[in-house]
Amino acid sequence: MSESIKESISHLETVADERGVTGSLDMKEPNVDPNHPQNWSTAAKLCTYLTVCFYTFLGNVNGSNFTVATQAVIKEFHVSQTQAGELVCFNVFLLGLGNVFWVPLMRVVGKRPVYLLSMLSLAMMNVWSSRASSYGELLASRILSGFASAAADATVPAVVSDMIPPQDRGHYLMFFHLALTAGLFIGPLINAYLVQEEDWRWMCYFLAIATAATFVIAIFTVRETTYLQKNAFAPKRKTWQWMSLTVGYNPDASFFRTVSDIVCNVAYPQLLWAAFAIGISVGWNIVVQLTASRTFTAPPYNWPAGSLGLLSLSGFIGSVLAFWLGGRLIDIISTRYTNRQGGPRLPEYRLPAIVIPGVIGPSGILIFGLCIAHQTHWIGAAFGYAMQAFGVAAISNVAVTYSLDCYRPITGEALVVIFTVRNTIGMLLSLYAADWIQRQGPAPVFGEMMAIQVASILLAIPLFIWGKRLRAVTSRYGPMKRFQDQVES
């Protein structure tokens, strides 16, 4: 056997071990090892997961903070509207692209060291941002802060996959998406009042302090969820042993092989659909936020920054309402389809849950755009904002859960593709949305946005009908082929 084949099988064994897979993609007998993450106490699981989710919240606050400070930046550094927008767009881009580094590193050293290093880095980058004396220095610090916070993104569903059995993953993943959307909607509220009462630098001070505090807490609460079969049935670890940074270290894992897998995953249609469905939803949310910032701080509204932050509460309310529909309902529908068919639980059984947010989300986009175009009372725009946020949270969770089930052995690598495409779309919209709206007007633009989002959601229909055949085809190439070959041998 050649060295390259040995490396491939070693890598796939590593990934399979992390999922508890031993010769089958679905574990037929539960693992009774007390050190296995799925056998931890509920308290241990929640301490780990909620700490990581709070870091996800902070990471997305970091990405959205300068949406409410564009005018302050323009005034202080004498830059254009486009340059001020670059503080958001390049941060968002690195928030996705940074996973190309963090996920492979996670495969080698484990998840706990990655989270702690990322938290410490994000706190330091925000200290730098708060002390920036020029626009170039501020832009550099924002780019690096986006890279640092990327570890709170694509790695988190892999933690859920490690700890939670399939029938409950949709519900638990909704906590992650609630934290993500809370960062997008509650973050602007916090930052708007900091800008109004102090200045934009206090946004960075706040994030530096909050992230540093989370780092200290994570030292004691975040356990290593990577589970390797070679460590099976070792004596039950004590609390202090879980604080080690080497529990998840695997010398057989390959950083560069994981990077290669990430690149190859672009050839999987299911991942591309999830990437564009989520990317369009999140991208439209960025357009809504930037449009709201420009519209409501100008005549005839003339809102202060704090009131602009309050508008984002409507988005948070929408995402909270999506908590059950986008979480537990996915599991209920999947379970009922499984029982009705009398066979294994298929990923496609989760897709029907996208119907309701697929109607509400695009409708909210149109309502918001029409209200902005005709300068109606703010309540109409707030209502549309809430509907759009509902769609962001629920659609994202359905798509991520579906992808996780399709490519369970390579969850982390698959989600890097999804989140990189998502954030690339967000970056492009941050740069060009203003010109798009200025050229065509808000009503036509938001109508086109609604049509694009509906089209992306309708692509779930062929996946639901032919998804099983498509997965059989995609198992013949890329990382899944190597995994399938290993299982068969």
Question: And the tokens for 23?
Answer: 């010769």
203/188 Cα distance (integer angstroms): 10
CATH code given to domain 39-223+246-253: 1.20.1250.20
Amino acid of residue 43: A
pLDDT over 90 at 192, yes or no? no
The DSSP code sequence of 305-342 is: HHHHHHHHHHHHHHHHHHHHHHTHHHHHHHHHHHHHHT
Q: What is the pLDDT of residue 31?
A: 67
Spatial contact of 256 and 104, defined as CB atoms under 8 Å apart: yes
Contact call for residues 63 and 91 (beta carbons, < 8 A): yes
| DSSP for residue 233 | T
For residue 24, the model assigns a pLDDT of 36
Q: Which tops the pLDDT comparison, 28 or 297?
A: 297
Average pLDDT value over all residues in the chain? 86
347-386 pLDDT per residue, tens: 898 899 899 899 999 999 999 999 999 999 999 999 999 9
* pLDDT the model gives residue 330: 75
Q: pLDDT at position 8, please?
A: 41
Find the mean pLDDT for residues 122-138: 96
- Cα gap 67→85, rounded to integer Å: 8
Output phi, psi for 210, to 5 deg. -65, -40
The model's pLDDT over 40-92, given as tens digits with 9 standing for 90+, comes to 999 999 999 999 999 999 999 998 888 788 888 999 999 987 788 889 889 98
Residue 419 CA to residue 164 CA, distance in Å, equals: 22
Model confidence at 345, in pLDDT bands (50, 70, 90)? confident
Domain range annotation of the chain? 39-223+246-253, 255-483
Quick check: 485 pLDDT over 50? yes
Residue 25 has pLDDT above 70, yes or no: no
Please write the tens of the pLDDT for every residue from 195-218: 888 889 999 999 999 999 999 999
Out of 122-131, 289-298, 345-354, 411-420, give the one with best mean pLDDT: 122-131
Is it true that domain 255-483 has CATH number 2.40.50.140?
no
469 — alpha (psi -120 to 50), left (phi > 0) or beta?
alpha
Q: 255-483: same fold as 39-223+246-253? A: yes
| Residue 459 contacts residue 360 (beta carbons within 8 Å) | no
What angle do helix axes 328-341 and 378-406 make, rounded to 10 degrees? 40
DSSP state of 154: T
If one counts every other C-beta atom within 10 angstroms of the C-beta of residue 43, the result is 8
Tokens 């071990």 identify what position?
A: 17
218-253 pLDDT tens trace: 999 999 999 988 777 788 899 899 999 999 999 889
Does 328 score more than 80 pLDDT? no
CB neighbours (10 Å) of residue 268? 26
Q: How confident is the model at residue 29 (pLDDT cuts 50, 70, 90)?
A: low
What letter would DSSP give residue 245?
Answer: S
